[in-house]
Amino acid sequence: MDQDLYDDADDANGLQASIVCSPIASVISNPRLPDNPIIAVNRAFCTLTGYGPENILGRNCRFLAGPATEPWLTDRIRQGTRARRATLVEILNYKRDGTSFRNAVLVAPVFSQDGALEYFLGSQVELDDDAIGPTSKRHQQAVEIVRGLSPRQREVLQQIAGGQRSKQIARNLDLSEKTVKMHRALVLEKLGTHNIADAIRIAVEAGL
């Protein structure tokens, strides 16, 4: 996958391309439209939830909520989107057939090159009953992976997880854009992924 697609600030296709091949259930929503509707979804999300794209596109992600969904966790997600920060919660959601499941939901902002909020990237992972909280296996794995990065690479990954594009990261870290892209490529290689969507997930799971 051409990683520079993610830096095309004028085209949602770049961000959409970053979730297509991801094994993690993912969606993209547009906060510039009323109720922040989903505008792209990958196959993994459909497989996880049982919903087809025709039942997902145009809706807010809270359609996965049900009778026992924790309202305070829904509020935490809402507060995170309002504050334009990445938010990870483990919440009870429901599949299309009514089956409940413990869902590790990540919602992360994506900004344009000029710093305007463009999209939210959402991803979902079904958790085992004993995989709840900061001691979960996924958290520990993410911490170990991120620990293998250099300090500068961790800084770049943290910026990526904050929704920043290469030009913004270069400005924030006082680096050339070429250097940022070099670090980004190395980060993706060390994380064992080829797309930004998965890198953001790992960063937030590790607590960056």
How confident is residue 68, by pLDDT bands cut at 50, 70 and 90?
A: very high
- What integer pLDDT is reported at residue 10 of this predicted model? 41
Q: What is the mean pLDDT of residues 53-77?
A: 93
The crossing angle, in degrees rounded to 10, of helices 137-147 and 196-206 is 100
Please, which pLDDT band fits residue 207 given cuts at 50, 70 and 90? confident
| Residue 22 pLDDT > 60 | yes
Say what the pLDDT of residue 133 is: 55
* pLDDT at site 25: 93
Instruction: Give the mean model confidence (pLDDT) for residues 112-121.
Output: 87
Give the global pTM. Answer: 0.78
Q: What is the CATH number of the domain that holds 188?
A: 3.30.450.20
The average pLDDT across 93-108 equals 93
Residue 122 domain boundaries: 3-206
Average pLDDT over residues 86-108: 92
Angle between helices 177-191 and 166-173 (to 10 degrees): 110
- Which of 4-8, 88-92, 116-120, 159-163 shows the lowest per-residue confidence on average (mean pLDDT)? 4-8
Average pLDDT over residues 72-76: 92
In angstroms, the CA 88 to CA 72 distance is 13
CB atoms within 10 A of CB 103: 22
Tally of structural domains, the chain = 1
Which is higher by pLDDT, 95 or 192?
95
Q: What is the pLDDT of residues 129-177, one digit of tens each?
A: 655 555 467 788 888 889 899 999 999 999 998 888 888 899 999 999 8
Task: Give the dihedral sign, CA 13/15/35/115.
Answer: negative
Secondary structure percentages of the chain, helix, strand, coil, to 5: 45, 20, 35
Tokens of 82: 């309002």
C-beta of residue 56 within 8 angstroms of C-beta of residue 45 = yes
CA atoms of 31 and 143, how far apart (whole Å): 30
Please state, for a pLDDT cut of 70, what percent of the chain lies above it: 89
